Structure 1
Amino acid sequence: MKLPISWLKDWITLDASAEAVAHALTRRGFYVEGIETHGCRLPGVVVGRVLEVARHPQADRLSLTRVDDGGGAPLAIVCGAPNVRPGMLVPVARIGAELPGGLRIEARRVRGEVSHGMLCSARELGLSDDHAGILDLAAHLGPGEDLVPGRAVDALLGPPDEVLEVEIPFNRPDGLGVVGLAREVRAALGGRWTPDAERRLAHRWQGRADFDLDIEDREGCPRYLAQVLERVTVGPSPAWARRRLEAMGQRSISNVVDATNLVLFEFGQPIHAFDLDRLAGPAIRVRRARDGESITTLDGRERALSDEVLLICDRDRPVAVAGVMGGANSEVGEGTTRLLLEAAWFEPRRIRRSSRFLGLATEAAKRFERGVDPEVTPIAAARFVELLRAMCPDATPGAARERNHLDGRRRTVTLRTARFRRVAGYDVSADEARRALEAMEFVVTGGDPLQVGVPSWRPDVAIEDDLVEEVARALDYDRIPEAPPETHGAHAVRTPLERTVARARAAMRARGLAEAWCTTLVAEAEARSTAALLGDAAPALVRLSNAMSREAEVLRPNLAPGLLRAVAHNLRQGSPAVRLFEVGAGFAARPGELPAETPQIAAVVTGPRFAHAHDADQRPVDFADAKGLWEAFLEEMGVDDAEWRTYSAPGWKPGASAEVAGRASRIGWAGTLSQPLLREWDIEVPAGHEVHLFVALIEPLVRSREGPARVALPGRFPPVRRDLAFFVPANASHREVEQALVGAAGEWLRAIEVFDVYAGPGTPEGMKSLAYALQWQHPERTLAESEVQSIQDRMVAAVAERCGGRLRER
Structure 2
Amino acid sequence: MKLPISWLREWVELGASETAVADALTRRGFYVEGIETLGGAYPGVVVARVLEVSRHPNADRLSLCRVDGGAGELRVVCGAPNVRAGMVVPLATIGATLPGGLVIKKSKIRGEESQGMLCSARELGLSEDHEGIVDLERTFGAGEGGEAVALPASGTPLAALVGTPEVVLEVEVPFNRPDGLGIVGLAREVKAALGGRWTTAARDRLAAQAAARGDFDLTLEDAEGCPRYLAQAVEGVRIGPSPRWLRRRLDGVGQRSINNVVDLTNLVLFEFGQPLHAFDLAKLAGPAILVRRARAGERIVTLDGKERALDPEVLVIADRERPVALAGVMGGAESEVTATTTALLLECAWFDPRRVRRGARSLELSTEASKRYERGVDPEIGPAATARFLELLARVSPGARPAAGRERRAGEAAVRTLTLRTARVARLIGVAIGAEESARHLAAMDFAVTAGDPLTVAVPSWRPDVTLEDDLVEEVARARGYDQIPEAPPAGRGVHAVRSERERRVARARGAMLARGLSEAWTSSMVSEREALATAALLGDAAPALVRLTNPMSRESQVMRPNPVAGLLRACAHNLRQGAQAVRLFEVGAGFRARGAGELPLERLMLAAIASGPAHAHAHSDETLKATDSALQPLDLFGAKGLWEAWLEEMRVDTPGWRAYAAAGWKPGASAEVASVTSHIGWAGSLSQPLLRGWDIEVPVHLFVVLLDALSQDAAGRPRATLPGRFPPVRRDLAFFVPVAVTHAALVAALRGAAGEWLASLELFDVYAGTGTPEGMKSLAFALRFQHPERTLTEDEILKVQERMTIAAARECGAQLRER
2:431 to 418, 426, 438: 426
1:2 corresponding residue in structure 2: 2
* Contact 1:81 1:133 (8 Å CA) reproduced: no
TM-superposed deviation, 1:474: 1.4
1:147 maps to amino acid: L
Q: Please give the secondary structure, in 2, of the residue aligned with 1:585.
A: strand
- Say whether 1:535 aligns with 2:540: yes
- Say whether 1:266 aligns with 2:300: no
* Contact 1:547 1:553 (8 Å CA) reproduced: yes
2:656 to 625, 642, 645: 642
2:736 to 711, 726, 740: 726
2:808 to 793, 798, 801: 798
1:448 maps to amino acid: D
2:678 corresponding residue in structure 1: 664
TM-superposed deviation, 1:78: 2.6
1:509 corresponding residue in structure 2: 514
1:603 to 578, 599, 609: 609
2:466 corresponding residue in structure 1: 461
Deviations 1:589-646 (A, max 9, x none): 6779866544321112234545764545655443223212211211222222111112
* Contact 1:586 1:597 (8 Å CA) reproduced: yes
1:734 maps to amino acid: H
2:645 maps to amino acid: E
Aligned ranges 1:697-716 → 2 under 5 Å: 697-699=707-709, 701=711, 703-716=713-726
1:474 corresponding residue in structure 2: 479
**Cα separation, partners in 2 of 1:525 and 1:293, compared to 1, 3 Å:** farther
TM-superposed deviation, 1:543: 6.4
The number of residue pairs the alignment matches comes to 797
* Contact 1:47 1:149 (8 Å CA) reproduced: yes
2:447 corresponding residue in structure 1: 442
Q: Please give the secondary structure, in 1, of the residue aligned with 2:662.
A: coil
1:774 to 778, 784, 788: 784
TM-superposed deviation, 1:577: 4.3
Q: Whole-Å Cα distance in 2 between the matches of residues 623 and 468 of structure 1?
A: 60
Q: Whole-Å Cα distance in 2 between the matches of residues 105 and 773 of structure 1?
A: 91
- Greater CA drift, 333-342 or 626-635: 333-342
Q: Whole-Å Cα distance in 2 between the matches of residues 251 and 621 of structure 1?
A: 63
TM-superposed deviation, 1:421: 0.9
1:72 corresponding residue in structure 2: none
TM-superposed deviation, 1:693: 1.9
Unaligned runs of 5+ in 1: 70-74
1:408 corresponding residue in structure 2: 413
Deviations 1:673-719 (A, max 9, x none): 3345445xx31222xx3332211122455734544433344444433
Deviations 1:373-408 (A, max 9, x none): 122233323322333332222223333333323651
**Cα separation, partners in 2 of 1:528 and 1:100, compared to 1, 3 Å:** closer
- Say whether 1:339 aligns with 2:344: yes
TM-superposed deviation, 1:468: 0.3
- Greater CA drift, 144-153 or 660-669: 144-153
* Contact 2:142 2:241 (8 Å CA) reproduced: yes
1:363 corresponding residue in structure 2: 368
* Contact 1:496 1:702 (8 Å CA) reproduced: no
**Cα separation, partners in 2 of 1:612 and 1:538, compared to 1, 3 Å:** same
**Cα separation, partners in 2 of 1:605 and 1:224, compared to 1, 3 Å:** farther
1:787 corresponding residue in structure 2: 797
* Contact 1:46 1:92 (8 Å CA) reproduced: yes
Q: Whole-Å Cα distance in 2 between the matches of residues 115 and 139 of structure 1?
A: 25
TM-score by length of 1: 0.87
- Greater CA drift, 741-750 or 438-447: 438-447
1:622 corresponding residue in structure 2: 636
Aligned ranges 1:204-283 → 2 under 5 Å: 204-283=209-288
* Contact 1:50 1:87 (8 Å CA) reproduced: yes
- Say whether 1:195 aligns with 2:191: no
Q: Whole-Å Cα distance in 2 between the matches of residues 130 and 463 of structure 1?
A: 44
2:757 corresponding residue in structure 1: 747
Q: Whole-Å Cα distance in 1 between the matches of residues 744 and 53 of structure 2?
A: 99
Q: Whole-Å Cα distance in 2 between the matches of residues 248 and 277 of structure 1?
A: 31
2:151 corresponding residue in structure 1: 147
**Cα separation, partners in 2 of 1:791 and 1:216, compared to 1, 3 Å:** farther
- Say whether 1:392 aligns with 2:401: no
2:21 corresponding residue in structure 1: 21
1:683 corresponding residue in structure 2: 695
Q: Please give the secondary structure, in 2, of the residue aligned with 1:209.
A: coil
**Cα separation, partners in 2 of 1:79 and 1:526, compared to 1, 3 Å:** same
TM-superposed deviation, 1:327: 3.1
2:734 maps to amino acid: L
* Contact 2:45 2:90 (8 Å CA) reproduced: yes
TM-score by length of 2: 0.86
2:153 maps to amino acid: P
TM-superposed deviation, 1:798: 2.0
Q: Please give the secondary structure, in 2, of the residue aligned with 1:37.
A: strand
Q: Please give the secondary structure, in 1, of the residue aligned with 2:348.
A: strand
TM-superposed deviation, 1:132: 8.6
- Greater CA drift, 18-27 or 187-196: 187-196
TM-superposed deviation, 1:463: 0.5
**Cα separation, partners in 2 of 1:364 and 1:610, compared to 1, 3 Å:** farther
Q: Whole-Å Cα distance in 2 between the matches of residues 387 and 318 of structure 1?
A: 29
1:748 maps to amino acid: W
2:748 corresponding residue in structure 1: 738
2:731 maps to amino acid: R
Q: Whole-Å Cα distance in 2 between the matches of residues 335 and 61 of structure 1?
A: 34
1:632 to 634, 646, 652: 646
2:430 maps to amino acid: G
Deviations 1:651-679 (A, max 9, x none): 33332221111122222111223345445
2:590 maps to amino acid: A
Q: Whole-Å Cα distance in 2 between the matches of residues 675 and 117 of structure 1?
A: 69
Q: Whole-Å Cα distance in 1 between the matches of residues 815 and 187 of structure 2?
A: 89
* Contact 1:64 1:76 (8 Å CA) reproduced: no
TM-superposed deviation, 1:420: 0.6
Aligned Cα root-mean-square deviation (Å):
4.0
* Contact 2:49 2:67 (8 Å CA) reproduced: no
TM-superposed deviation, 1:242: 1.0
* Contact 2:48 2:68 (8 Å CA) reproduced: no
Q: Whole-Å Cα distance in 2 between the matches of residues 537 and 798 of structure 1?
A: 39
1:671 maps to amino acid: G
Q: Please give the secondary structure, in 1, of the residue aligned with 2:721.
A: coil
TM-superposed deviation, 1:507: 2.2
- Greater CA drift, 721-730 or 741-750: 721-730
Q: Whole-Å Cα distance in 2 between the matches of residues 527 and 351 of structure 1?
A: 29
- Say whether 1:374 aligns with 2:394: no
**Cα separation, partners in 2 of 1:756 and 1:442, compared to 1, 3 Å:** same
Percent identity for Structure 1 against Structure 2: 64
TM-superposed deviation, 1:809: 4.4
2:468 maps to amino acid: I
Q: Please give the secondary structure, in 2, of the residue aligned with 1:486.
A: coil
2:146 corresponding residue in structure 1: none
* Contact 2:76 2:114 (8 Å CA) reproduced: no
Q: Please give the secondary structure, in 1, of the residue aligned with 2:418.
A: strand
TM-superposed deviation, 1:212: 3.9
Q: Whole-Å Cα distance in 2 between the matches of residues 612 and 525 of structure 1?
A: 33
Q: Whole-Å Cα distance in 2 between the matches of residues 86 and 653 of structure 1?
A: 77
TM-superposed deviation, 1:11: 1.6
Q: Please give the secondary structure, in 2, of the residue aligned with 1:586.
A: strand
